Chain A
């Protein structure tokens, strides 16, 4: 790296940080002002030992807040999460969890569209051509992903086909040990996908999870075809099962080889209903298929923090727990400890802020985490 490049990145990092600070200030003013904030945060304000309107000037001041507890999202009334400033807007509620008990609910107005339109800008046109039709081979039902992928497709001028997939049932099957039923359900989903792919709809792009992508490849192989042969050129995927080795296996053996040979491009992503969507740095064989994610700053940010002190960011390359921040006009999360861990990554030209690589279930919780098809 030349000296001038280093200088450019330093400048970009500084600019990004200034932007993050300014955005943080603006969002805290919005969420804690009596005229615009949500009933939830306005009520929380009275419990704080500081005045967020006066004492949060930048991103680092968010550490004055206690950690966000996702249990707050369970149960109603759901309206308490809608900022007064957006109260007259049509509102969605998206759910996460809920295999047993009350799911976590997040209200959304435009965030999913904005996040996925931003993500759209990162997709290479060659493999995700404008106007191409998509297949959403992922969870359906009360989930953000379902509508978000459809919007992404529509935003790019295509029409999105979907299948029915209930991840709560999948997790129940795994927990009950009903593996034959699990396989049958997976096959049911894959059969739907293959039927659509074979139906002449000129589908070129898709969202899917790693496990479903594998199953789709095997299902197509049984019909003596492949993801490449059936015409898919761009795959957007997500999940913590994205290890470098799995990605290599997928690229080399399921997709027909590296993009330049196969003409199939896959981009891993990391995200959830709370934060949105983090993009990955391009994944290459030369870099041993290392996967590094970067949050869509300043609307969301990711830190890698010490396991026993979430206020301390670990050194670059060191391992810690993933901490998320979300700051949009619709939703405010001033620090949430994800159920994942990973290594802190350096900023780079495209994303001049910290990233996280090697994302995997947090080792102290891993044994209690059930990873399904999604």
Chain B
């Protein structure tokens, strides 16, 4: 069986504690992942400065070139993984088997991660507003108009407590390497595959191993990482986000509550945007924070909900290898039954209607896993509790709400697609701090332009603009 060690600044560490990863559907063992403790991470932090040092020794242009080479290896090559060599097909199979995602979705996520890495120069140019990357490497420089600028690195490494649910989020930490910042990652227990493959590809592309650490383990590893790294990311629930709110050392990513808002000027032509809504709700099996969990309009909402239910409600469970498979499994069946119980509670409220009712059972329980089939729910008011819910399957509430009340009622929204040409409405959304990413026009919520920042600019998180005065002497 595949043995995957922890990686301690490039060096493998085979632990005596191992977690067996099994196929979600048939229980076949896939790999054993070494488990370490938070203490090991804490001790290893003394080498964090070396991670930045070895990366700073590589010119930025060369580092970008190696990132591109790593992207190629990640997406198409064979890389070392533990005591074996991992092909692309191995990776897809392993990731699907442990996360429950259909294999074609694993391939799509792989391409997404590879795309970001292979376009690192463009992405960084956008995030830094075209600043010469050598300024970040050296710490200061002339921005091109005779003014010295300096960006002070806030941490030699970026820590990340990574999630299990969707392999797409790994795009968020990838740019750190090109900015000469090391990576200290706690992989999710069900999705160690992307961080391991990515780190292996980086190293194969000639980026020093001393820049990378991977610590699979329990909660104490995550807690130690977040307390010891000066800059880190964590992916979790709304409670996790709340816990780290206002903490400048931690960037917390949680549910997105992404939405599509139909303006009064467009809503009568809602049918033109049905495909956009379906993609936004259903892509990646509705698992992402960028999936749409709410469609808001002042009228036609029942008709919109019925049309979405008609299209999505019939979608059934297919084997993960099937290219038409659109639903990811809950590898822990209790998560599905727990989610289902919460949904049932939402449906009990007056004014809430399950539009997929009568289209077959939503909860599909299997011996080792469970599925939740797509659900479309109509809410006659934004005050219904379901209007602010997000679940880990294709689930959306279609909410009837006057346009003038939308901004006040939508709450935190990671991605907002506004379908309207009403300049006043668009301006209000532009000014709103409730919305993170704003799409004006027919852009599905799940389609991210990587040249735009996501939940804050990573460069601003990792570097701080400061004074730097030079004088001859």
A residues apposed to B, CB below 8 Å: 214, 218, 221, 243-246, 248-249, 253-254, 288-289
Contacts and interface: CB of A to CB of B under 8 A. Distances in A.
A245 B39 contact: no
B40 A253 contact: yes
Given A245-B35, A246-B37, A253 B15 contact: no
Nearest to A250: B39
A249 B42 contact: no
A244 B40 contact: no
Nearest to A214: B39
Interface in B6-25: 15-17
A248 B16 contact: yes
Nearest to B39: A214
A218 B37 contact: no
Contacts of A248: 16
Most buried by A among B15, B35, B43: B43
Main secondary structure on A side of the interface with B: helix
Contacts of A289: 16
B16 A244 contact: yes
B40 A288 contact: no
Interface of B: 15-17, 35-37, 39-40, 42-43, 46
A244 B37 CA distance: 12
A248 B40 CA distance: 11
A243 B15 CA distance: 12
Contacts of B42: 218
Contacts of A243: 16-17
Contacts of B46: 221
27 contacts: A214-B39, A218-B39, A218-B42, A218-B43, A221-B43, A221-B46, A243-B17, A244-B16, A244-B17, A245-B15, A245-B16, A245-B17, A245-B35, A245-B36, A245-B37, A246-B37, A248-B16, A249-B36, A249-B37, A249-B39, A249-B40, A253-B39, A253-B40, A253-B43, A254-B39, A288-B16, A289-B16
A218 B45 CA distance: 12
Contacts of B36: 245, 249
A244 B15 CA distance: 10
Contacts of B37: 245-246, 249
Contacts of A218: 39, 42-43
A254 B43 CA distance: 9
Most buried by A among B35, B39, B42: B39
The 10 closest A-B pairs by CB, nearest first: A245-B16, A245-B17, A244-B16, A214-B39, A245-B15, A253-B43, A288-B16, A248-B16, A249-B40, A218-B42
A64 B36 CA distance: 45
Nearest to A211: B39
B388 to A, nearest CB: 26
Contacts of A244: 16-17
A218 B38 CA distance: 12
Contacts of A288: 16
Nearest to A247: B16
Given A245-B35, A253-B40, 20 more contacts: A214-B39, A218-B39, A218-B42, A218-B43, A221-B43, A243-B17, A244-B17, A245-B16, A245-B17, A245-B36, A245-B37, A246-B37, A248-B16, A249-B36, A249-B39, A253-B39, A253-B43, A254-B39, A288-B16, A289-B16
Nearest to A218: B42
Contacts of B16: 243-245, 248, 288-289
A254 B40 CA distance: 10
A249 to B, nearest CB: 6
A313 B464 CA distance: 64
Contacts of B40: 249, 253
Most buried by B among A221, A245, A246: A245
Contacts of B39: 214, 218, 249, 253-254
A245 B37 CA distance: 9
A263 B32 CA distance: 34
Nearest to A243: B17
Contacts of A253: 39-40, 43
A254 B37 CA distance: 13
A253 B15 CA distance: 13
B381 to A, nearest CB: 36
A218 B39 CA distance: 9
A214 B46 CA distance: 16
A147 B209 CA distance: 50
Contacts of A214: 39
A3 to B, nearest CB: 33
Most buried by A among B16, B36, B37, B40: B16
A246 B16 CA distance: 9
Nearest to A246: B37
A288 B35 CA distance: 15
A177 to B, nearest CB: 11
A9 B274 CA distance: 80
A313 B278 CA distance: 60
A249 B42 CA distance: 12
Nearest to B18: A245
B34 to A, nearest CB: 9
A244 B40 CA distance: 15
A203 to B, nearest CB: 23
Nearest to B17: A245
Nearest to A215: B39
Nearest to A288: B16
A289 B16 CA distance: 9
A328 B36 CA distance: 41
Contacts of A249: 36-37, 39-40
A246 B15 CA distance: 10
Nearest to B40: A249
B118 to A, nearest CB: 38
Nearest to A290: B16
B40 to A, nearest CB: 6
Contacts of B35: 245
A288 B15 CA distance: 10
A343 B46 CA distance: 38
A214 B16 CA distance: 18
A249 B15 CA distance: 9
A243 B39 CA distance: 14
A76 to B, nearest CB: 40
A245 B14 CA distance: 10
A248 B39 CA distance: 12
A361 to B, nearest CB: 14
A294 to B, nearest CB: 22
A6 B37 CA distance: 40
Contacts of A245: 15-17, 35-37
B334 to A, nearest CB: 14
Nearest to B227: A183
A342 B42 CA distance: 30
